[in-house]
A and B are shown apart, each in its own frame.
Chain A
Amino acid sequence: MSALLNGLRGLWQFWPIAIALGLMLAPVRSRKWPWVIVGSTLVLTPLALSLGWITLYAARMEALIFITAILAVSLNLINGLTGLFSIGHAGFAIVGGYAAGILTTFVFQLGPETRLPLAIPAFVVSLLLGGLAAAAFGFLVGLPTLRLRGDYLAIATLGFGEIICVVLRFITFRRPVGEQVFEVGGPRGIQDIPAMPGLPIPGTEVAMPVLASFVYSLVALALIVWAIRNLSFSSHGRACAAIREDEVAAEILGVDTVFYKVGAFTIGAFFAGVGGALLAHWSNMLHPSMGGFVRSIEYLIIVYIGGVGSISGSLLAAALLLICGETLKDVLRDRDAWRMVLYGGILIAVMLWRPRGLYGDREFPWLMPRGRSTDGPA
């Protein structure tokens, strides 16, 4: 009984996300609607925080939901739109995280004393460079795997992800700072990654890191979803969809499949890198294992339960799975291992009885461009 109450409490603490989900599910076609969703979420949580209506922990978890959603929609670009079977996605994310983390820790040396006009641009630049670093890896993975199909491609991407983790375990970065020599990397990963820079509003010192990560993650998610959705509903997106449907026919009809397949990996990896960079600063640390198979599977689960090919599905699934996970943690307490058992079971059940996932390849009405039916992205 207490477990149930714990569970309900755990569920309830995410009420701002529930509101956001409700808004997302509304059958509204207006293209102003995304502004309503983002705007309200942006205002609601900080407001609730200041009024003590939600806990700091819940706000922090909301940021994690946004970051996970970024990783899911970026994976969806590769698996869903282009039909490639990539299961090493966490590898791209961790490259982005390492790149950005090293930049903020070492190069820019962001900290509470860093002056504001420098801190925020420095952070954003680190995010983008993290994305670029990951994109380079995406390119390196996409190029040699061109001729591989299905299972083989899956295993190859898995292998690349693991190789990245192994390499990260052995690379260390050294930088002399003043008298000391800082060393990060290696098997311990990077510790003490600075928090995301916020605004020095008096009275918010404690909450500011959480607020900052909330805002950055939400804005990044909104921008990335917008970019990916635009891409999906463009000629470029159609070319990728054609490759997914029938690669040979697409090639014969004039689609440069090499360009678009490598492109899918590169672009997907870029966004994953941004997500990984955000994650690094959200958790203030990075460990090589965070780029491994287990993490990649988590993103895979979200994408396929949400419906591979549906951006909306990935958004829904990311929120639902994380909320369920947190709730289960409260219910199960010390028996947390059962949570992953449940996820595995859900994945099997979805494949058996609803392989198209929550949303198939459909999208929210407000996500579709002008003049389209509620069909899938391509």
Chain B
Amino acid sequence: MALLELHNLTRLFGGLAAVRGVSLELHLGELVGLIGPNGAGKTTVFNVIGGVYPPTSGDVRFRGESIVGLAPHDVAQHGITRTFQSIRLFGGMSVVENVKVARHHRTRSGLLASMIRTQSFRDEEAAIEADAMELLRLVGLAERANDAPKSLPYGLQRRLEIARALAGAPDVLLLDEPAAGMNHTEVDDLVALIRRIQQERELSVLLIEHQMPLVMSICKRVYVMDFGEVIAHGTPKEIQNDPTVVEAYLGSGGRV
């Protein structure tokens, strides 16, 4: 049984099938890639897994149980977090606060304790601060903890998104184009970071990416989507030589 399973997932928007009959598996500790031309439905898959909208048909199973119908915050609490295709940092909050808020669902202090600042509340705040700073150190943002996210260069903003996603202590991490807009050095750093995160925290990662070198170097397996369907699946080497994949990319002027 895989950690995360999609069974024949379909999501219609009006008459348009953004995702049709998609099945995939993510096993414990794996790093799996999800690639495909723009508009293939990859982010929609993430949205359905995350509960942003329910599937029209099909199932999403986490640890064997269906999570369809859960509100997005419940999905996060169950242990699946994500980053976004376009950066969605909380601009009015500092870097460290962005990370802290993602850890919120794990805090125990209630309303009253917060309002009168009991000792247990203070202890928990200290723990939250410590955890958040540790994550920032992991992604290399510790010195910028109190800065505004907008003041960070693009690459660091992406890292902050990752730190934020990790704050929820997930078992499954969904990364939506984490390397978008990065140059070669930044991509290499990102690869090293993802590898390290995965090993240290025993995470299972599902990665949407366009940058082939990144996908090829770290993904154990890759699913290829086009027009809402999975058209190929295998190791990076296998799908690189798959004619359907090549056609899908070249046909839309994509880059392989």
Partners in one complex: yes
Chain A residues within 8 Å of B, Cβ to Cβ? 227, 230-231, 234-239, 241-242, 244-246, 248-258, 263, 267, 361, 373, 375-376, 378
Q: Give Cα distance in the complex from A378 to B82, angstroms.
A: 22
Q: Give the docked Cα–Cα distance between A227 and B115 (Å).
A: 5
Asked whether, in the complex, the Cβ of A256 is within 8 Å of the Cβ of B116, the reply is no
Q: Are B71 and A256 in contact (CB under 8 A)?
A: yes
B105 touches A246 (CB 8 A): no
Q: Which 4 residue pairs across A and B have the least CB separation, nearest first? A: A254-B76, A254-B105, A245-B90, A234-B114
Least CB distance from B96 to A in Å reads 10
B101 adjacent to A255 (CB under 8 Å): yes
Contact B121 A234 (CB under 8 A): yes
91-141 of chain B: CB within 8 A of chain A = 91-94, 97, 100-105, 107, 109, 111, 114-117, 121, 124-125, 128
Quick one: given A236-B114, A239-B101, are A376 and B92 in contact (CB under 8 Å)? yes
Q: Are B97 and A378 neighbours in the complex by a CB distance under 8 Å? A: yes
Of residues 74 through 100 on chain B, the ones whose CB sits less than 8 Å from some CB of chain A are 75-77, 81-82, 84, 88, 90-94, 97, 100
Interface status of B41 (Cβ within 8 A of chain A): no
Contact A231 B115 (CB under 8 A): yes
B interface, size bucket: 35 or more
| Residues in A whose Cβ lies below 8 Å from that of B66 | none
Asked if A255 meets B84 with Cβ closer than 8 Å, knowing A227-B115, A227-B116, A238-B93, the reply is no
- Whether B101 pairs with A250 at a CB distance below 8 angstroms is yes
Residue of B whose beta carbon sits closest to that of A240: B101
In whole angstroms, how far apart are the Cα atoms of A248 and B115 in the complex?
26
* Inter-subunit contact A246/B88 (CB<8 Å): yes
User: In the bound complex, do residue A255 and residue B93 qualify as a contact, i.e. CB atoms below 8 Å apart?
Assistant: no
Contact B115 A238 (CB under 8 A): no
CB distance from A311 to the nearest CB of B (A): 14
Interface contacts (Cβ under 8 Å), in number, total 103
Query: B29 at the A/B interface (Cβ < 8 Å)?
Result: no
A166–B187 CA distance with the chains assembled, in angstroms? 62
Q: Are A242 and B121 in touch, CB under 8 angstroms?
A: no
Q: Other than the known A235-B114, A236-B111, A375-B94, what 4 A-B pairs have Cβ atoms closer than 8 Å?
A: A252-B52, A253-B102, A254-B81, A256-B73
Candidates A238, A254, A373, A376; contact of B168 at CB < 8 Å: A254
Residues in B lying within 8 Å of A, measured CB to CB: 50, 52, 71-73, 75-77, 81-82, 84, 88, 90-94, 97, 100-105, 107, 109, 111, 114-117, 121, 124-125, 128, 146, 164-165, 168
Q: How far is the CB of B130 from chain A (nearest CB, A)?
A: 13
* Bound-complex Cα distance A237 to B168 (A): 17
Residues of the A chain whose Cβ atoms lie less than 8 Å from the Cβ of B117 = 230
Residue pair B90, A242 in contact (C-beta under 8 Å): yes
Contacting pair B72 A235 (CB below 8 A): no
Residues of B with C-beta under 8 A to A241: 90, 92-93, 97, 101
25 contacts between A and B (CB under 8 A): A227-B116, A231-B111, A231-B115, A234-B125, A235-B109, A235-B128, A241-B90, A242-B90, A242-B104, A246-B88, A246-B90, A248-B52, A249-B84, A251-B71, A251-B73, A252-B75, A252-B76, A253-B73, A254-B102, A255-B101, A255-B104, A255-B105, A361-B92, A378-B93, A378-B97
CB atoms of B101 and A253 under 8 A apart:
yes
Contacts of B73 in A (CB 8 A): 251-257
| B170 closest partner in A (C-beta) | A254
How distant is the Cα of A238 from the Cα of B129 in the complex, in angstroms? 13
Partner of B125, one of A235, A251, A267: A235
Minimal beta-carbon separation of A113 from chain B (angstroms): 36
Distance A257 CA – B90 CA, assembled complex (angstroms): 15
For residue A361, which residues in chain B have a CB less than 8 angstroms away from its CB? 92
Chain A residues within 8 Å of B109, by CB: 234-236
Whether the Cβ atoms of B146 and A375 lie closer than 8 Å is yes
